[in-house]
Structure 1
Amino acid sequence: MKQVEIGVIGAGWWACAAHIPTLVAHEAVKSVAVVRPDQEGLDKVLSHFKLEHGYLDAKQMLAERPLAGAVIASPHVLHAEHALLAINAGLHVMVEKPFGTSIAEARSIADAAKAKGVSVMMPYGWNYRPMTEAAHRLIRDGYIGEVRHVVAQMASALADLFAGEGLVEAKGALFEPPASTWADPKRAGGYGWGQLTHGLGALFRLIDLDPVEVYAKMGNSDAGVDYYDAAVVSFANGATMSLSGSGTIPKVRGGYQIDIRIFGTEGMLVYDIERARVEAYRHDGKSHIEQLPTDAGDYDSASPAALFASLCAGESIINPANATVGRRATEVLDGMYRSARSGRPEEIAP
């Protein structure tokens, strides 16, 4: 297998916990170069992973290193800037969620990648699970007919993170997630940008529809970012969605919930990571119940970076979280936040 060098822009908490270890261990990766804006933190990353190439500035790394791809894991509000720098340098990119913090940013990333002929991936971990691919296949092949209505909810045990108190599960990590990224309303903090985007990523792997209007209400944490999200979404084909998000599953229970019910002209599909369920039922009496192990709904933190490495090395891959998936998720979130502020439905322009 061809070996390549991959850059990581934003060597912080999650990049160091998931992406960099996966890349360093991958047979297609010859070396990893990293960017962090503080010298002390950069030295810590280089020492911990025994890396040779570290930079304080992304532009310098892109100019000096012979990269095949770049992982964008900087703070939310910098994703678009850093993704466009890498794309315009001719690199494949894996962009951490969210896929930009506005519709304009998300569309600029997708358009630039298309113009440059490079691939965009997102590390929506559940999109890389076989149960998601099974549900995608059933809907793609027309098992439930045309999508007419969706009920989708996601919940997480992250009340501390979105309250600006840090994350208890990250104590002792190389770096901890900063409140400035997760709990600052001026820097795309909150449950929508930080977590509900995962549920939307899974949804848009399952359905091939553009959102056109969103009406939303939110309930905020003490830090002023959303803990709770409730939205009604309309799609281009006239279908509707009831969307819900909550960041306050009690820690004693822990875990994640993503429960999506998709109703079509010929039947319905159930996708539930908590209970590892993919089930489809039709009006003609036919049904399909996917046989899944009990851990089928567990989050996959390694496969995205591993698959991205294979892509950068020239391997043919199936990309379950491409630019279209990322764009649509951001379109819903952008409309949701605008609607919560305005108190009225907000359009998503074609």
Structure 2
Amino acid sequence: MDRLRVAVVGAGRWAQRAHVPGWQRDERVEVVALVDTDADVLADAGRRFGIGRLTTDYRELLDDPSIDVIDVATANTAHFEVSEAAIEAGKHVLCEKPVHRDYRETRRLAEAARAKGLKTKLGFTFRYAPAVRYAKSLIDAGFIGTPYVFNGFEQNSQWIDPATPMRQVDPDADPAVLATSSIEGYGAPIIDIMHWWADAGLTSVVGTMRNFVPERVVRATGRSQRLNIDDGDMWICEFDGGMLGSIQSSYVTVGNLPGIEARFYGSEGALIVRLVEEAGICQTIRTATKDDVEFVEREIPREFFPPGGDSAEDWDSLFYANLCADFTTELLDGGDVNQGDFAQGALVQETVNAFEASFRRRAWVDFPLADDVAGDVA
């Protein structure tokens, strides 16, 4: 192949902000079809992006041999169904997170895709930030030395105001049981970066969750009601080789969006990547060494940006353009490289499930998860 033909399933806000523009920015890609169950949203998106093939049923596209990639940008509840059907039809798949709340189901899809010679990718947007990619290159080159400590933060104040409408994740949820929310929807990107940078086996976790704002306006009804969900959490992780990690995620902590910060400390150096829009810049990287301990900002080399991209660009368009370009290169090159795939998604989801199990049991939980533990929280 020298060109990819992509169908985007789900034409809502995030598809229009990130997915479709990300694909269309790459001259090697053509977005040939859009799918959405809302005919009005679908028509508006088709006009906006100049896409003529529109359908409300993604199944109509699965037997089309000219379509190479199915991009799943639907609501979470449809991620697994569409991804599974696309893989069964022989399509490469990009899917927003999570593929499934049970990491074992995500892993099963990863194995099914691999058996068919297909590639998959998760919407881990922040992994593809130029600053994060540059940091990974420094880590791989030995800048950190022996890793000691990773600190990850996903902080924003998107729902600190209880009047801000929120989608009710599960209308039938037991109000007496605190449900995962922030750590699963917002913590996943920083967990992904932790695993990617550490490149070591996770061995055990412990932590807790909180519901700081109990009464919220529900988007579907416009009324305030009790939503017993995790809107703040903190976790400690142990890795093979002795490295320690910590994760904090919340959407009631004051700060700008997207609000991710990753810190990595080792025997030779340290680095801090901050993906927060400040003074018109969406990302920074600062480094220090054991011989020069004051952190200084580094310029991010051009090779880590998409064509025409810079740090003054909106974070979603910049980072997602890199994601789409990375997947395009992986597919057109035809080699074995496939970063941030469904197997990585399964690892991140298993970590989330381990965090939840630790909170439920009020104890350290071993990793990988035992089947009985996984069954309790999946």
The two structures have a TM-score, normalised by structure 1, of 0.80
Match of 2:62, SS? helix
Q: Displacement, 1:40?
A: 4.1
* Aligned equivalent of 1:278: 286
Superposed, 1:241-256 pairs within 5 Å as 241-250=245-254, 254-256=256-258
Contact 1:182 1:189 in 2 (8 A): no
* Aligned equivalent of 1:329: 348
Q: Deviations over 1:111-167 (max 9, x none)?
A: 223222222223333322332122112222233333233222220231169x6844x
For the pair 1:305 / 2:293, whether they are aligned, the reply is no
Structure 1 residues 54 and 337, CA, compared in 2 at 3 Å: closer, same or farther? Answer: farther
Identity across the alignment (%): 24
Which stretches in structure 2 are left out of the alignment for 5+ residues?
215-226, 277-282, 301-309, 370-378
Kindly tell me the number of residue pairs found equivalent between the two proteins. Answer: 334
Superposed, 1:1-350 pairs within 5 Å as 2-64=2-64, 66-159=66-159, 165-166=164-165, 179-180=167-168, 190-220=181-211, 221-222=213-214, 223-250=227-254, 254-274=256-276, 276-282=284-290, 291-292=298-299, 295=311, 299=315, 300-314=319-333, 321-349=340-368
Contact 2:23 2:30 in 1 (8 A): no
Q: Deviations over 1:199-224 (max 9, x none)?
A: 22332332212323322211124322
Which stretches in structure 1 are left out of the alignment for 5+ residues?
167-177
Amino acid at match of 2:256: G
The two structures have a TM-score, normalised by structure 2, of 0.74
C-alpha separation between the residues in 1 aligned to 2:180 and 2:332?
Answer: 34
Q: Displacement, 1:230?
A: 0.8
Structure 1 residues 160 and 290, CA, compared in 2 at 3 Å: closer, same or farther? Answer: closer
Match of 1:332, SS? helix
Structure 1 stretches (4+) deviating beyond 6 angstroms? 182-186, 284-288, 315-318
Contact 2:271 2:285 in 1 (8 A): no
Match of 1:201, SS? helix
Q: Deviations over 1:21-53 (max 9, x none)?
A: 333454223342222234444344334434232
Contact 1:94 1:123 in 2 (8 A): yes
C-alpha separation between the residues in 2 aligned to 1:104 and 1:65?
Answer: 30
**Pairwise CA RMSD of aligned residues?**
3.5
Q: Deviations over 1:230-256 (max 9, x none)?
A: 111222444322211121244xx5333
Contact 1:76 1:181 in 2 (8 A): no
Q: Deviations over 1:279-306 (max 9, x none)?
A: 1423x66999562279489732333234
